[in-house]
Amino acid sequence: MKVLVVGSGAREHALVWKLSQSPHVTKIYAAPGSDGMGSLAEPVSIKPEAFNDLLAFAKEQKIDLTIVGPEDPLVGGIVDLFTRRNMRIFGPTAKAARLEGSKAYAKDVMSRHGIQTGGHKVYDKCEPALAYLQNCDYPVVIKADGLAAGKGVMICKTQEQAEQAIRETMTDKRFGEAGKRVLIEDFLLGEEVSIHAISDGHTILPLCLAQDHKPVGEGDTGENTGGMGTYSPLPQIDDEMMAVLERDVVVQTIHAMNREGEPYKGVLFTGCMMTKQGPKVLEYNVRFGDPETQSIMMRMQGDLFEVLSATIDGKLDTVEVNWDPRSVVTIVLASGGYPRDYEKGYKIKGLDSDFGPDVQIFHAGTKKVDGDWYTNGGRVMSVVALGSDLKDAREKAYAAVEKIRFDKMIYRKDIGFRGLTS
């Protein structure tokens, strides 16, 4: 079977790595792919937004399954296009993908179907939003309504910070068109968890939990990023709490989309806050998370190709997935200045080190020139390690990080801290 993976980041590298282990898969292409995954997937110089070119390539190469990594093509309707042309593709339709494409739409769905979430207001003009801030209880959360690569969420402790966030988003257009509309949400207290589940519209296959670390600095300080690291499993989330998450969040959302007339087929990635009142949804994502996927793929025991193919065929109930009982830690190495301005082109040293069998390096923003590796993005790579427990996995991951060097390299030194103190 031939597979096409759309995307170029560490998430896509992890998916390619897992797919390459399937006995069904004979060839993997990645569009555009990267130098880092070049040993596993043949790169194709087509951008994720070039739907017609991707379709033409898939038809020409007789691709058996296309998997979309980033959210933009899903929200833009790539699944609808491929499906109309009888090409097998994994992911939700454009209408179902609005769960991520518009946070206001997602909140509306939750409100109509009784899915618990935080209180919120939606504004499409700056002045009324600023006026509302005068009577808020702080902190509040300011969110760009549209797609902002995980960076459009700002936790504001004061009115001054909130006003600045509104102006940056709506007036200065820091997030482009994604910030034409904003949400002002209640700040929720509790433990944040990310739950992935695959659904064919009827059957639901929950994946293992992972906890992301969004802020750039230790102790969850600084600006939000696309994610600075994850760990799995979560010692603080027991089987009973997991069952509640599945029942009250995942199942209810899949049922809600069926009632909306938009059956959800694909992976649903939900960020939840475990509050004293129970789990409340922070946001939906309609694709595999990054860097959660890096941890999930390391623990997954099963054939990813079979799972994704069965989802498309509506036969998800015929496949089974088990999970490595060991812990995994993913640490993101990023360029100094991320998530704002950063420089590229710094030489990366140490990637030829012996990391051992329990460590994988998944490339994101890297480039290979004349045999040497260089930085080529904000998040440069993910260092992922399995260990007997969370402490062991952390030690292996950070030992591997110590072997890698590039100028202005930044990373969080406390990934998994909540799991250690639970």
Task: Give the CATH number of the domain where residue 393 resides.
Answer: 3.90.600.10
| Pair (171, 198) in one structural domain | no
148: amino acid identity, one letter: A
Instruction: Check whether residue 319 and residue 193 sit in a common domain.
Output: yes
Q: Could you tell me if 232 and 242 are in contact, meaning their C-beta atoms sit under 8 angstroms apart?
A: no
- Assess if residue 58 is contained within a domain: yes
Asked if residue 364 and residue 398 are part of one domain, the reply reads yes
270, 302, 323: which is the final residue of a domain?
Answer: 323
Whether 345 and 298 share a structural domain: no
Domain containing 346 equals: 328-420
Contacts of 265 (CB under 8 A, 6+ apart): 91, 92, 93, 96, 199, 200, 201, 311, 312, 314
Whether residue 107 is contained in a domain is answered as: no
Domain count of the fold of the chain: 4
Write the DSSP string, 339-388.
TS-----PEEB-TTS---TTEEEEESSEEEETTEEEE-SSEEEEEEEEES
What's CA 141's distance to the chain center, in Å?
20
Do 198 and 307 reside in the same domain of the chain? Answer: yes
- Reduced to 3 states, what is the DSSP secondary structure of residue 412? coil
Q: Are residues 346 and 299 in the same domain?
A: no
ω before 325 within 30° of 0 (cis)? no
Claim to verify: residue 305 and residue 357 sit in the same structural domain: no
DSSP class of 405: B
Answer yes or no: do 340 and 303 share one domain: no
For residues 225 and 289, membership in a common domain is answered with yes
Same domain, residue pair 258 and 315: yes
Q: Domain for residue 110, yes or no? A: no
Query: Alpha-carbon distance 231 to 233, whole Å?
Result: 6
In a domain, 117, yes or no: no
Same domain membership, residue 218 and residue 316? yes
Residue 86 lies in a domain: yes
Please indicate, yes or no, if residue 387 is contained in any of the structural domains: yes
Residue with tokens 């993976």: 5
Q: Residues 347, 365, 340, 213: is their CA dihedral positive or negative?
A: negative
Domain assignment present for residue 120? The answer is no
From 268, 290, 323, the end of a domain falls on 323
CATH of the domain at 134: 3.30.1490.20
Per-residue pLDDT, 422: 57
Domain assignment of residue 216, yes or no: yes
Q: What is the pTM of this model?
A: 0.93
Domain boundary among 300, 323, 346: 323
**In a shared domain, residues 154 and 257:** no
| pLDDT tens, per residue, the chain with 422 residues | 999 999 999 999 999 999 999 999 999 999 999 999 999 999 999 999 999 999 999 999 999 999 999 999 999 999 999 999 999 999 999 999 999 999 999 999 999 999 999 999 999 999 999 999 998 899 999 999 998 876 788 899 999 999 999 999 999 899 998 889 999 999 999 888 889 999 999 999 999 999 999 899 999 999 889 899 999 999 988 889 899 999 999 999 999 999 999 999 999 999 999 898 889 999 999 999 999 999 999 999 999 999 999 999 999 999 999 999 999 999 999 999 999 999 999 999 999 999 999 999 999 999 999 999 999 999 999 999 999 999 999 999 999 999 999 999 999 999 999 888 75
- Asked whether the beta carbons of 349 and 389 are under 8 A apart, the reply is no
| CATH code (residue 41) | 3.40.50.20
Q: How far is CA 395 from CA 157, 232, 310, 391, 410, in A?
A: 34, 14, 37, 6, 18
268 token code pair: 């649903």
